[in-house]
């Protein structure tokens, strides 16, 4: 199977080939033909499956050439990072087309976004809050939207966007194509899908477990106070004889914890930055760029800040603290092992976190092996 077989036009197939992709991923193979045929779609797919191209490619084809001023396609995404990454994919796959894509999200000045909309836009990517703000003040005209995409719908609901989503939908024309992507199918997601989608094609790919299977997981028993020493030790020595870590995404539970840990790593000589909701968009973008460029060894992130981060070939994910929700663990470690690569996930588990690990193991139907705790940290565990 190649991209030609999916019914994509040559401009798109050559852009994809130029980017180095030869074979569609399962979600692309399953979603692109029905979307090109104009059908609604319900897709069960998490980040890392190639889901972005699964809607961006057919949308680019359906939109054809630049036309009018108001956007004809709207993609809603939960976070600014994800929205920015979708725009990046549109640029990559759309290089041979003359379509105007814009992104709007909060946390940055609105004037450039307003100016962008004024000059004309075919495809608009947005987070719900800023979009509504601009729409209600008359800067974003949604009356021409013929294709509507809800990306990471489950995350949107988790983040409390349901009312915003409904308000956006009320501004769209009734006759339109709807695509909805979600990693999980909770009852809320099914209700939303039933509301929005008309006779959708359904595509399900790789349940989270198959991503998890490609991740080598390891846990350490360690006292809270020793976690930072153990983490420095792991950066310097690796966990499994793989040698020093050159790049790891480290999860903490709180914004404050992320800042503190990042400073502690810096003091230990490990280049590090923290990203979380209190950081400005510019600071987050810079940290991500420095991390991708290899200037930082550690990116310390909270759960929300990490959503939608697309870092290719991320070798290590560290759970400095375990998440309360088992699905978040699966989501976190899915940041490594993307697009077919293998990855490693290390969890630092203090005594009070043992029950969380048990819940995670139950959810994955898989146990996480413990590595021997290095001597210096073992003394104090308990
Ligand atoms: P996504 O699930 O959209 O976040 O994509 C996950 C990663 O897979 C991104 O880094 C994409 O650039 C990459 N990717 C998307 N489609 C393909 C493909 N057909 N072959 C290889 N990699 C891909």
pLDDT (tens digit per residue) in 3-61: 999 999 999 999 999 998 888 988 999 999 999 999 999 999 877 789 999 999 999 99
Tell which residue, 328, 310, 377, 308, has the closest CA to residue 349: 377
The secondary element (H helix, E strand) that includes residue 149 is strand 147-150
- Report how far residue 134's alpha carbon sits from residue 268's, in angstroms, rounded to the nearest whole number: 45
For ligand 1, atom 13, the nearest C-alpha belongs to 50
List pLDDT tens digits, range 73-94: 999 999 999 999 999 999 999 9
Two tokens, residue 19: 């980017």
Share of the chain above pLDDT 70, in %: 93
- Distance from residue 3's CA to the centre of ligand 1 (Å): 13
Level-2 CATH architecture, domain 3-206? 3-Layer(aba) Sandwich (3.40)
pTM of the model: 0.63
Phi-psi domain of 126 (left: phi exceeds 0; alpha: psi -120 through 50; beta: other):
beta
For the chain, what is the mean pLDDT? 90
Pocket of ligand 1 (CB under 6 A): 21, 23-25, 28, 47-53, 310, 312, 338-339
Q: Which of 50, 211, 288 to mutate to test the pocket of ligand 1 (most atoms within 8 A of CB)?
A: 50
CB 374 within 8 A of CB 343: no
pLDDT at position 214, please?
Answer: 75
- Distance from residue 80's CA to the centre of ligand 1 (Å): 19
CB 52 within 8 A of CB 89: yes
- Report how far residue 65's alpha carbon sits from residue 123's, in angstroms, rounded to the nearest whole number: 11
For ligand 1, atom 15, the nearest C-alpha belongs to 50
Place 382 in a pLDDT band, splitting at 50, 70 and 90: very low
Q: Selecting from 3.30.310.50, 3.30.1300.10, 3.20.20.80, 3.40.50.300, what CATH number does the domain 209-364 have?
A: 3.40.50.300
The secondary element (H helix, E strand) that includes residue 69 is none
Residue with more model confidence, 366 or 134: 134
Among 114-128, 232-246, 309-323, name the one with the lowest average pLDDT. Answer: 309-323
Is the per-residue pLDDT at 309 higher than 70?
Answer: no
The secondary element (H helix, E strand) that includes residue 210 is helix 208-213
Is the per-residue pLDDT at 208 higher than 50?
Answer: no
List pLDDT tens digits, range 351-378: 999 999 998 888 777 889 999 888 777 6
Same fold, 3-206 and 209-364: yes
Q: Where are the domains of the chain?
A: 3-206, 209-364
- Give the residue-averaged pLDDT of 187-214: 81
- Distance from residue 210's CA to the centre of ligand 1 (Å): 16
Say how many residues make up the chain.
382
Terminal alpha carbon distance of the chain: 54
Among 18-22, 102-106, 133-137, name the one with the lowest average pLDDT. Answer: 18-22
- Report how far residue 51's alpha carbon sits from residue 324's, in angstroms, rounded to the nearest whole number: 27
pLDDT at position 210, please?
Answer: 56
- Distance from residue 92's CA to the centre of ligand 1 (Å): 12
- Give the residue-averaged pLDDT of 229-238: 93
Please state the φ and ψ torsions of residue 203, each to the nearest 5 degrees: -130, 130
Q: Among all chains, which residue has been given the structure tokens 């009320």?
A: 170
Please state the φ and ψ torsions of residue 350, each to the nearest 5 degrees: -85, 165
Report CA-CA distances (Å) from 278 to 107, 158, 256, 321: 10, 19, 10, 19
């Amino acid at each position: 199977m190649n991209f030609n077989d999916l019914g994509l036009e040559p401009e798109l197939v050559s852009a994809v080939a130029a980017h180095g992709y030869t074979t569609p991923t399962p979600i692309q193979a399953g979603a692109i033909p029905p979307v090109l045929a104009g059908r609604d779609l319900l897709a069960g797919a998490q980040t890392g499956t190639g889901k972005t191209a699964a809607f961006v490619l057919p949308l680019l084809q359906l939109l054809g050439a630049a036309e009018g001023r108001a956007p004809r396609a709207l993609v809603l995404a939960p976070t600014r990072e994800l929205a920015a990454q979708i725009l990046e994919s549109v640029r990559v796959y759309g290089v041979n087309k003359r379509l105007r894509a814009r992104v709007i999200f909060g946390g940055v000045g609105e004037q450039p976004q307003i100016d962008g909309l004024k000059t004309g836009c075919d495809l608009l990517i947005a987070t719900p809050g800023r979009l509504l703000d601009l729409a209600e003040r008359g800067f974003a005209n949604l009356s021409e939207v013929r294709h509507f995409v809800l990306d990471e719908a489950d995350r949107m609901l988790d983040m409390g966007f349901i009312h915003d989503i409904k308000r956006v939908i009320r501004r769209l024309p009734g006759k339109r194509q709807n695509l909805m992507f979600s990693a999980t199918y909770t009852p809320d997601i099914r209700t939303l899908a039933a509301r929005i989608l008309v006779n959708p094609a359904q595509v399900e790919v790789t349940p989270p477990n198959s991503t998890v299977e490609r991740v080598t997981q390891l846990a350490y028993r360690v006292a809270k106070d020793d976690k930072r020493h153990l983490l420095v030790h792991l950066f310097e020595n690796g966990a499994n004889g793989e040698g020093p870590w050159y790049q790891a995404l480290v999860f903490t539970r709180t914004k404050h914890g992320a800042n503190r840990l990042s400073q502690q790593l810096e003091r230990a000589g490990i280049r590090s930055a923290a990203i979380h909701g209190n950081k400005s968009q510019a600071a987050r973008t810079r940290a991500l760029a420095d991390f991708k460029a290899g200037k930082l060894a550690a990116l310390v992130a909270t759960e929300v800040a990490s959503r939608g981060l697309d870092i290719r070939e991320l070798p290590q994910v560290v759970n400095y603290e375990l998440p309360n929700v088992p699905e978040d663990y699966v989501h976190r470690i899915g940041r490594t092992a993307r697009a077919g690569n293998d990855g490693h996930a290390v969890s630092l588990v203090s005594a009070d976190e043992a029950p969380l690990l048990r819940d995670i193991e139950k959810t994955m139907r898989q146990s996480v092996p413990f590595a021997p705790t290095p001597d210096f940290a073992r003394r104090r565990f308990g």
